[in-house]
A and B are shown apart, each in its own frame.
Chain A
């Protein structure tokens, strides 16, 4: 606010001084020039009359000559004054209007409006820095869950784009450099309702600055950051960033999972991705040699992940000198049949078209499929505008890093238990286990979105459960019952149970619950809403447990007694 007033005053100095000087000269002239009164006697205007005359002359011109008709000398001076004052007024008003239209002034006003809007938020919100592919997907999915967010992006066009995205909740936005502390301050970094900070810009230093500022101010608050280089990742992790996602590495891990355990990959995909892949996509042979076209950032990340997994590889790149000696490499882009034949495409199981040119990638895809129709195809999409073309290309995997990392971020924000579940699944279980789980999931949700949520047995999330006097009767099966008809089960599966440090994967239905337990469910979103009834309403819980419907009012208690007696 202060800034605006200072800027305004500073800009208005020159017009105001001009106005004062012109007024002073006009008044002085009128006072000095001799005139005559109505009796023809010599008369001089006083300062009072002169100021009165000049005041209305400057703004209106035409009140008549007061208090007596002017002499010719006075009229000559008035003529000069009219032009001088009108021009000065135009100048002063013009400067004010120019100031209002000034882009710098507009920026200041927007900044002020933004800071005001953020400070008035009274519900929990996320601060999202960077509104790219990932940022916009996360904000949209948060908005669909009616969770508010605040967006800062350095590009005005992206910020304007947010306006036409038509989100369900109002999202305050600002075009500014998120790595500057005062910008973050205005965006609500110190706001008590800010529950998480997401640093998703495509600049590693900016993400680092945002993450470190947030961790310094409020160490317990969740910080999620994107990172493109291993150095930054290590740095971010060193001060306790809750989740660091490297888009290329994340996608490479995702893809590697599909080669050695396709069912586990599907479980992962179903849990994280709202539009999941169909089960039938598994039936392709995946063990064998892969071809990677393009050895850039993506190619390199993929190469190291595949290699750690022991997959045989062939690299196709225009400059094979960067590739290590012990790896089979072919010179070329991969768009011609000759290059691909040289890379022995007939015996490969999969191909990754991973150059940074979308047209090249599509061309590689088409050529490769012609040479070997049974190939698993992975194609990298660089520009989101090309999405329709890529959809009709019918590749097995379209690599959009933004999508993958936004799914991971959403999973982390929905419930921190989900990443733990996935980690344990990958470390301890095999593909057969995953296949069984997948079949169960498929029976529950079919083709609809698989949602996941966690329940904590605590005062805040499940007050009804704690009101029970004999908690030993409470089992997992009770929670999964339909509160409208206890004979039926809700469409959900218990994925994990955590008590302190002990983790129980896919626990049995008869497990007895204690205060402080955390349970991870997956299933249809409506099951979560139904479950809330059991968790939060004691009467509903009674019904689910015993099948009897009590309402605990005095009246019903009296009536109940009467009946017993």
Chain B
């Protein structure tokens, strides 16, 4: 176990003060994410009530096995993320690095499966918006498809951002910036990653199952 040199910013009393404040900031940021996704979901449910047949046809177009696989992948990644935070707090840096790498790999698998789903859709002519070419049975399937791409696309961007943040955290851990004395950044990224996971846990049943 090596000691971590972390300089507490001058306006905080001590490290714990800084840690608690940073965490509150991250949680507030999570509130903004929830509201952002929340707004699109409101629109989604509104149109679902308006065009239930199109929504049914749309959900049947999606491959729920791929969605389920992705759910398992993301849930696993959340577990390893949580473990990484635990290990960094107790000073087991190698274990933390291992877990973060697994988290990253899970992120890659998720995006890989997403890529397969997207290319399959594109192959069938299911594009968002005005590029829609699929011969649908119901009139407003294009709206469902737009929502599908908007929601999963916005979520995918968040997965990629999360992966970028995890990479950044990994590098900092390797350079010895985090340890039992200071792990704020790791926990912050962890909270973000859990939120990305949580959003997917809602998106999967809403898009694929209902």
**Do A and B associate with each other?**
no
**Which B residues fall within an 8 A CB radius of A?**
none
